[in-house]
Amino acid sequence: MSAILFYEKPGCRTNARQRRALEAAGHTVLVRNLLAEPWTAERLRGFFGHAPVATWFNPAAPAVKAGTVDPSALDAATALSLMLADPLLIRRPLAEVDGQRHAGFESLRDRLGLTVDLEAVATGCSHPHHPCPTPKSTGTP
């Protein structure tokens, strides 16, 4: 089984379920705080591969849901700049496994050949009726 560097948002129930699914499949999961990681544009860009810029974003991020940020209207440089300023915008989880980087659980799941019940391990926001808590409310610096 693989060792997976797993960048999550602390307190995110969906990320917790995803992490548990990976562990249940026998993988070693090394958890990192996505919000506190010292990202650079170059390093962050490596997780998105050839995916369209709009898919780099967390659709449940408060700024996206409010319409303040329109991912479909952004180029790569602007998108990365916004994400560095507000990590809640980053699609999660981000993961590194066997030298490959992934954004979103679907990409990681497919890479590992993991078969999971998507209802049991949701890939969207666990709280669709209200925004995710801010980093301050989760105790993250």
Cα→Cα distances 8→66, 72, 73, 125, Å: 22, 24, 26, 13
Cα→Cα distances 111→13, 31, 93, 98, 126, Å: 22, 18, 14, 10, 23
Q: Which of 4, 9, 12, 47 is catalytic?
A: 12
Q: Is 12 a catalytic residue?
A: yes
Distance of CA 23 to the CA centre of its chain: 17
Quote the tokens at residue 95: 């993961």
Question: How is residue 88 annotated by DSSP?
Answer: G
Q: Which residues are the active-site residues?
A: 12
